Amino acid sequence: MTTIEIAGIKRRKFKDTMFKYIVYGLTFTCLAVVLIILFYIFQKGIPCLNWSLFSQMPKPVGESGGGVLNAMVGSLMVVSIAALIAIPLGIAVGIFLAEKRGKPAADRVSIAVDVLQGVPSIVVGMVVYVWVVKPLGIFSALSGSIALAIMMLPPVIKNTEETLVLIPNTLKEAALALGASDLKSTMKILLPTGIGGIFSGCMLGIARVAGEVAPLLFTAFGNPYLSFNILKPVNSLPMVIFNYGSSPYEDWHRIAWGGSVILVGFVIILNVIVKFFESRWKVQF
């Protein structure tokens, strides 16, 4: 009797250990893939970084040097305007979902947000092309921003909702019991309490769309010159990487690698900022 039990325990312990190592192994595999990608990009890209990359415009084929100034300005414009559109809208929808959780209306909106998250970015670009670019008659930074704003909405909405739902209901009740209106208790109590989570949702949304090229093909289109006009086509970093990376010229490849490093660096910095503020703004209940 005793011997049988001991044998069983050995087997169970063995299985346990195996399971542990499998989980570790798979985790490190994923991590290794990320690290290899980053290493490769930095290895190829960092030698291509120089001041002219940031300060100069692209040069015609055959001339060496040149930079991605117009693409950086374009990307910054398109992504900033997208954020200005998507963040207030997304937070509003997130508040709605958190407040009405469990009601039929909220369920439908929630499914719609999930579907939106799954819509391929190229399709979003197409739709914005038909809705914005065609009526205006011109490719523009604004239409690119609208396409990216649509892409940004789901993460902003979901993060806002999840954050607000986690805030204890007693906090809102405390505000209401003091005679506060729904609006005040949401704006002055719930949103400040959830600011960390909401902020990180917004930043991750920005990080998500910063590297998108598909929705911009039909909308912001690209522009070899520097433009600050939101109603004119602008260039963007992902598009530079796509166009220059697939070109046959060695010089252009260098610019594409440089652009990749800038883009990846931007996303890494965003993530670091998120982690920093998440811990600083963490609220204890």
Q: Which residues bind other proteins (CB under 8 A)?
A: 103, 168, 170-171, 173-181, 184-185, 188-189, 192-193, 195, 283-285
SS3 241: helix
Nearer Cβ to other proteins (127/195) = 195
Residue 195: CB minimum distance to other proteins, A: 8
Q: What is the CA radius of gyration of the chain?
A: 24
Residue 16 vs 182, nearer CB to other proteins: 182
Q: What is the DSSP letter of 220?
A: T
Please name the residue that has the structure tokens 């050995």: 10
Shortest reach from residue 279's CB to other proteins, in Å = 15
Identify which of residues 89 and 195 has a Cβ nearer to other proteins in the complex: 195
In whole angstroms, how close is the CB of 192 to other proteins at the nearest point? 4
By C-beta, is 11 or 188 nearer to other proteins?
A: 188
Q: Which is nearer to other proteins, 55 or 181 (CB)?
A: 181
- The full DSSP string for 145-196 is HHHHHHHHHHHHHHHHHHHHHHS-HHHHHHHHHTT--HHHIIIIIIHHHTHH
Please list, in sequence order, all residues whose beta carbon lies within 8 angstroms of the beta carbon of residue 19, skipping any fewer than 6 positions away.
Answer: none
The CB-of-249 to other proteins minimum distance in angstroms stands at 55
Residue 99, amino acid: E
Compute the least distance from the CB of residue 194 to other proteins, in Å: 9
Distance CA 111, CA 91 (A): 17
